[in-house]
């Protein structure tokens, strides 16, 4: 596989996992609602950059979204 194909596959895989995780989580407080809003914005940005062919920025947005999701859970702002 080429680097571009590998990156596209990673984006596809992690975007699907993020979508699943995002649909199963909820805000516990106001900060959690803000975090969910930011996670959703990063996910939309990732799709936008993917459509434009900017794979690096697309993947980077997914990384930020995942980081917010994990931090939100760890700090108790997000939960099931």
Homologous superfamily in CATH for domain 3-79: AF1782-like (1.20.1270.90)
How many angstroms separate the CA atoms of 3 and 10, rounded?
10
User: Residue 80: which pLDDT band, with cuts at 50, 70 and 90?
Assistant: confident
pLDDT in tens, 15-69: 999 999 999 999 999 999 999 999 999 999 999 999 999 999 999 999 999 999 9
For residue 77, pLDDT over 80 is answered with yes
The reply to whether the predicted model has a pTM over 0.85 is yes
In terms of Cα–Cα distance, which of 28, 18, 39 is closest to 76?
A: 28
**Which pLDDT score is estimated for 60?**
97
């Amino acid at each position: 596989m080429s680097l571009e194909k590998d990156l596209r596959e990673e984006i596809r895989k992690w975007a699907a996992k993020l979508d699943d995780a995002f649909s199963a989580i909820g805000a516990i407080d106001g900060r959690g609602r803000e975090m969910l809003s930011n996670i959703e914005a990063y996910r939309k940005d990732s799709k936008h950059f993917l459509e434009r062919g900017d794979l690096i920025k697309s993947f980077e947005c997914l990384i930020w979204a995942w980081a917010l999701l994990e931090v939100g859970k760890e700090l108790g702002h997000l939960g099931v």
